[in-house]
Structure 1
């Protein structure tokens, strides 16, 4: 199989999607686990209501795990997009956090990267190396032949 054939068959792009999906999903899980341990109060009292804090914490853990596996990827992506829009709109932008911080203080960079990554998976797919592909292979293949 030559390189051109690999790209036409979606093999190499799926390898890239796999790598990015697994790294991003695991990162979400690790960011969400400490929050989930104090799900209703990890941001402190008098900030965001506890139910929204819990939603964000569990969205990161469960959505990240689903994303890493490529399972229910559109749903996981939507949940993670909502969480990152909330992080940007309720915390980073109102807090005046810079896009990138050289001093280690809060920045909006990571939330923006996660938002962009989740949007990528929502608008594309999890790729051939995912649970979604194995569960709904016929749908994937018919979508590729009609495109």
Structure 2
């Protein structure tokens, strides 16, 4: 019985002091800050195609990392917990990008992961662009399906740029974010 009175007193204080409304205004300001105007027309359709394509790529990159987490962590010489967060951000963030839900936050989570990947590639001395496979000496980087590209940070860097584009231009009008938040900004 006593706890109900405490909550009632707190609620009354928040309503009469304006604190509750200030908090609501802060939430609205944060949403307005996170979402640029939702673009319609050809720009909106291009953002949809761009966002869905990148989302699919991250789901496809994140899933095998989650399934083979310890193997992936060992190959990177990184803690499994950190690798789990990275893989989870790719996998769940990819789905969020596909439907356009909480797009800036999902993009930011994946961007941290890909930014760290870019840093690791640079730290290991890998070039921006790897040598084209047809220019490699015979027997180098060959597998059962033929030659592959040597390591570089080109792909991680390009993902960084793509995610920044989504953060800057927003998810577009054809997203769940637009349905939920369009009236706010």
Shorter-chain TM-score category? 0.7 to 0.9
Shift of 1:38: 2.4
CA distance in structure 1 between the partners assigned to 2:116 and 2:68 by the alignment:
19
Q: Which residue of structure 1 lines up, in the alignment, with residue 112 of structure 2? A: 82
Structure 1 segments unaligned to the other structure (5+ residues): 1-8
* RMSD of aligned residue pairs (Cα, Å): 1.6
Higher relative contact order (Cα pairs below 8 Å, separated by 6+ residues): 2
Structure whose CA Rg is larger? 2
Match of residue 49, structure 1, among 55, 79, 87: 79
Residue-pair matches, total: 131
Q: Which residue of structure 1 lines up, in the alignment, with residue 160 of structure 2? A: 115
How is 1:1-147 mapped onto 2 (pairs within 5 angstroms)? 10-44=40-74, 47-89=77-119, 91-101=120-130, 102-103=132-133, 104-139=149-184, 143=185
Contact 2:73 2:79 in 1 (8 A): no
Deviations 1:58-95 (A, max 9, x none): 11101111111111001101101100111011x21012
Give me the TM-score of the superposition, normalised by structure 1: 0.82
Give me the TM-score of the superposition, normalised by structure 2: 0.66
CA distance in structure 1 between the partners assigned to 2:70 and 2:179 by the alignment:
36
Structure 2 segments unaligned to the other structure (5+ residues): 1-38, 134-148
